[in-house]
Structure 1
Amino acid sequence: MAERLVVVGGDAAGMSAASQARRQRKPGELEIVAFERSHFTSYSACGIPYWVGGTVDGPEALIARSPEEHRARGIDLRMRTEVTELDLDRGRVRARDLDGGVRESWTGFDKLVLATGARPRRPALPGIDAPGVHGVQTLDDGQALLDTLATTGGRRAVVVGAGYIGVEMAEALIDRGYSVTVLDRREQPMSTLDPDMGALVHTAMCGLGIETVRGAVVTAVLTDGAGRARAVATEDTEYPADVVVLGMGVRPETALAAAAGLPLGESGGLLTDLGMRVRGQDAVWAGGDCVEVLDLVSGHTRHIALGTHANKHGQVIGANVGGGYATFPGVVGTAVSKVCDLEIARTGLLERHALAAGLQFVTATIESTNHAGYYPGARPMHVKMLAERRTGRLLGTQIVGREGAAKRVDIAAVALTAGMTVEQMTALDLGYAPPFSPVWDPVLVAARKATAAVRAAGA
């Protein structure tokens, strides 16, 4: 009799796991049932801001594999079906057909994969759930926002939060012809950067015509007589809004897991071993935005919602569920984004992360150019590095600049993964030609300055 694998969640991690398990095991050996509550599967959530802004087509262009394609590969994929309960003792899940009323049914499993993703942060504020207020995490969310933009009469948008999603959505709304105000409680936008590097992003946002209000504590979303959002109130004033977008990040969607008594970390994400098996469970795996992963730099677990990780998690889970062996060793926290032509990148620890981990460190910040200074089109690039005070081990890198800035962070990501010191980095044999880099690449210039800081600290 065939084993049954049940997958909860039909995006990157879930369907990667299902597809990899199918490749490992024949249909007669393994039955795969997957549940997805939305209208879409296997899509690029990272592309939603560019779809909203009109840079790319959607939603079809953002879909890597349709439900029909998954079914053709031997996966029983049930769309618009929400799992409402996990019964781990009996090995079954209860699911509801969202388009069929209140009908619910149980499905048994031999092996279970949880890939429930994350949900946008929605603070418990008056009016936060009013029509016209949008979180942006799924293609359904993106379509709902576009529907609002198509029907609203005004052209004023307020984005609450200035993290990656908030900044990207602000630019998308500018591209749509909206007047955009970004409200953020921090001193600088992009909490994924240190404040001194975030200040560079703030300057770029102002140049794009985005009003950015720092230190703004939102207290409510104000509504009109019809109950729709009309403004966002802070402790000091209110900002008129025809549409409100929440850009305060996401939290793991682990309500089902918590109700079933599965182990959660500090951020609320599921805790797994290196094989992505949920700790303390023999037949339950988890991956994607609903889990916490090991930070290879700090040694602690953390929640990082990225499609790159989710797909890798799925591959590891599918291999293990299918009878093979694979591990996911951890991450260094690499992420890139942009505001107009300003590229933003980080990997490793920020100053506050290093302090929280009890690490003593030095910092070095340099300004260089993306090309040789004499080559046409050379633009400024800022690089900041953190290095451990005693050993010189690289702890983190942040880069803000124009063309060619963002992907340079991959040099530091590899160095972090390898546990290199900043002094070792100065000898890296990187590619050079005037159209691509100065003789000394900006990353190496920062490594040299960080090396000098480590030596001075030890003197």
Structure 2
Amino acid sequence: MTERLVIVGGDATGMSAAAQARRFREAPDLEIVVFERGHFTSYSACGIPYWVGGHVRERDQLIARTPEEHRARGIDVRLRSEVVELDVSGGRLRSRDLATGVETWSGYDHLVLATGARPIRPGLAGIDAPGVHGVQTLGDGEALIAALAAGTGRRAVVVGAGYIGVEMAEALIRRGYEVTIVHSGAQPMSTLDPDMGALVRDALRGMGVTVVGDSAVTEIRTGDDGRARAVVAAGREYPADVVVLGMGVVPETTLAAAAGLPLGAHGGLLTDSAMRVIGHENIWAGGDCVEVLDLVSGMHRHIALGTHANKHGQIIGANIGGGYATFPGVVGTAVSKVCDLEVARTGLREKDARAAGLQYVTATIESTSRAGYLPDAPLMTVKMLAERLTGRLLGVQIVGREGAGKRVDIAAVALTARMTVVQMTTLDLGYAPPFSPVWDPVLVAARKAVRAVGERG
């Protein structure tokens, strides 16, 4: 008997689930229908800043697989079709064709919610004015590139100093703009501890970016033509010919909430380890619309990253297709770049450790990414958190130049393995002068953390 899999959302999780389910089960045994309200499928939103900045030449380089390619594999992709209601008890959903406005009910045997996240966009005066841009979709990227090409002024204000904010700062610098970042935190990159965020602030200023912290935006002022001309924050005005919003995202669970599906403290859907929505045998969810287990703290978090979204889709598709897969959780690894500055973190920040009730010690070191006697050996700062008494690694943050960022993967593996900082000091890492000092910076930090644990034991 034919079963019907309906997927809401055609990007990373949704299309990975569709493709994986199709590998397990051929048509007509399994009918797969995907509703996508946008114009594209399977694209890299993470790559948009690099497209805007010119690292990526064309939009289509960010598209991993087109709707036509999915359709050729027996997946019915319906673009510009927005799902507006879920009837969980009836096993059906209502969709709207955005071109015609026609609404249709569709039944399902299996439902996958891959609705992603929506950007934070507060209801400020001028927030929707021409000249104000988000960077969530490929359409957003196209609109911003067109505005930058057509604009006559060279002043840009980025609102928000998270990953997207600092990456967009680089993109705009590469476009020849004078860039100001305005954000409400004490330091940029709130995913880091403030002392490490201060390093990012200093580096951004060294690149010519004006960084304004502790300043919540209250208004975007417009000119006589209705276009944005300035950002107002903490009583000051920052002139802008273009405004880019990078204030973070929240789970897009409007449909799920209206249908009574279970949500966590961060507003994301709650699933079991197979990515099945809690309490619903035939409903699955993954990607930016769910909360995931933090393997270090034992608490649930919302982390919007394409790496997790693709894994969730693979797991969901395998389980629906008759296989078996689970998602154990995350340690919270992320890396970013602005010009030649690399920023990385994994595990817990100090405030995360406190919130989890963990007592901890910290160790911060400065080192280089290759042997110091080589010319221009790039500098980096590594901060490490370890649990008091046990010495279990809790988190690592790295800010530095070339060769710094991906070192966070050493710590990510150590966190997943629940290693102590003592165990880390004996890791057999690769060494050659062009790649590392004799003692890798992560291991230097681990040695210092060992001493801190011993002193406070």
Q: Which residue of 1 aligns with 2:345?
A: 346
Q: How does 1:108-123 map to 2 (within 5 A)?
A: 108-123=107-122
Aligned residue in 2 for 1:137: 136
Shift of 1:376: 2.6
**Where does residue 188 of structure 1 map in the other structure?**
187
Residue 408 of structure 2 is matched in structure 1 by 409
Q: 2:136 & 2:329 partners in 1: Cα distance?
A: 24
Is the contact made by 1:12 and 1:288 (CA closer than 8 Å) also made in structure 2?
yes
Distance 1:298 1:58 in 2: 41
Which residue number corresponds to residue 431 of structure 2?
A: 432
What's 2:373 paired with?
374
Q: Spell out the pairing of 1:286-305 with structure 2 (5 A cutoff).
A: 286-305=285-304
Give CA-to-partner distance per residue, 1:133-170, whole Å, 9 cap, x none: 12211112111222222333322111011000000001
Query: Residues of 1 paired with 2:422 and 2:133: CA distance?
Result: 47
Question: Is the partner of 1:338 in helix, strand or coil?
Answer: strand
The more displaced of 53-62 and 9-18 is 53-62
After the TM superposition, which segments of 4 or more aligned residues of structure 1 sit over 4 Å from their partners?
none
The 8 Å contact of residues 125 and 221 in structure 1, kept in 2 or not, is answered as yes
Residues 1:40 and 2:77 are matched in the alignment: no
Q: Percent identity?
A: 75
CA distance in 1 between partners of 2:440 and 2:287 (Å): 34
Q: Give the alignment of 1:220-231 within 5 angstroms.
A: 220-231=219-230
CA shift for structure 1 position 227: 2.4
Alignment correspondent of 1:253 = 252
SS at 1:289 equivalent: helix
Using the alignment, how far apart are the partners of 1:112 and 1:58 within structure 2? Answer: 34
Partner residue, 2:65: 65
Mapped pair 1:389 → 2:384: no
| Cα shift readout 1:35-64 (whole Å, capped 9, x = no counterpart) | 111111101111100000111123100010
CA contact (8 A) 1:168 1:339 kept: yes
- 2:152 corresponds to: 153
Partners in 1 of 2:201 and 2:440 — Cα distance? 25
Q: TM-score, normalised by structure 1?
A: 0.98
Letter in 2 for 1:257: A
Counterparts of 1:417 and 1:190, CA distance in 2: 24
- Structure 2 segments unaligned to the other structure (5+ residues): none
Offset at 1:237? Answer: 1.0
CA distance in 1, matches of 2:402, 2:227: 41
Q: Does 1:310 align with 2:309?
A: yes
Counterpart of 1:274 in structure 2 is: 273
Q: Does 1:85 align with 2:85?
A: yes
Q: Distance in 2 between matches of 1:243 and 1:269?
A: 32
Distance in structure 2 (CA, Å) of the matches to 1:423 and 1:362: 14
Residue 456 of structure 2 aligns to a residue whose secondary structure is helix
Q: How far apart are the structure 2 equivalents of 1:97 and 1:298?
A: 43
CA distance in 1, matches of 2:138, 2:449: 43
Q: CA deviation at 1:236?
A: 2.2
Q: Aligned pairs, how many?
A: 457
Matched-pair contact (CA < 8 Å) for 1:371–1:377: no
Between 123-132 and 267-276, the greater mean CA deviation after superposition:
123-132
1:269-311 CA-partner distances (Å, limit 9, x unpaired): 1110000000110110000111100000000110000000000
Name the SS for the 2:156 alignment partner. strand
Tell me the residue number matched to 2:332.
333
Alignment partner, residue 74 of structure 1: 74
1:249-275 C-alpha deviation (Å, 9 max, x unpaired): 111111111111111111111110000
Report the equivalent of 1:355.
Answer: 354
* C-alpha distance in 1 between matches for 2:169 and 2:83: 33
Partners of 1:290 and 1:299 lie apart in 2 by: 19
**Aligned equivalents of 1:156, 1:146: Cα separation in 2:** 15
| 1:49 counterpart residue number | 49
Query: CA–CA distance in 1 between the matches of 2:80 and 2:53?
Result: 27
Secondary structure of the residue aligned to 2:180 is strand
CA distance, structure 1, for counterparts of residue 224 and residue 284 of structure 2: 48
> CA deviation digits over 1:369-414, x for unaligned, max 9?
1001112331111100000012110000001111111111000000
Q: CA deviation at 1:217?
A: 1.7
What does residue 449 of structure 1 align with? 448
Which stretch has the larger CA shift, 116-125 or 428-437?
116-125
| Contact 1:201 1:339 (C-alpha < 8 Å) held by counterparts | no
The equivalent residue for 2:197 is 198
Match of 2:211 in 1: 212
* TM-aligned CA deviation for residue 226 of structure 1: 3.1
- Name stretches of at least 5 consecutive residues in structure 1 with no aligned partner: none
Aligned to 1:19: 19
Contact 1:370 1:405 in 2 (8 A): yes
RMSD over aligned CA atoms reads: 1.0
**CA separation in 2, counterparts of 1:95 and 1:207?**
50
CA distance in 2, matches of 1:255, 1:148: 31
Query: How far apart are the structure 2 equivalents of 1:150 and 1:341?
Result: 25
Distance (Å, rounded) in 2 between the aligned partners of 1:58 and 1:350: 37
- Partners of 1:38 and 1:123 lie apart in 2 by 22
Cα-to-partner distance string for 1:79-99 (whole Å, 9 max, x where unaligned): 111111111111111111112
Take 2:154 and 2:98, find their aligned partners in 1: how far apart are those partners? 34
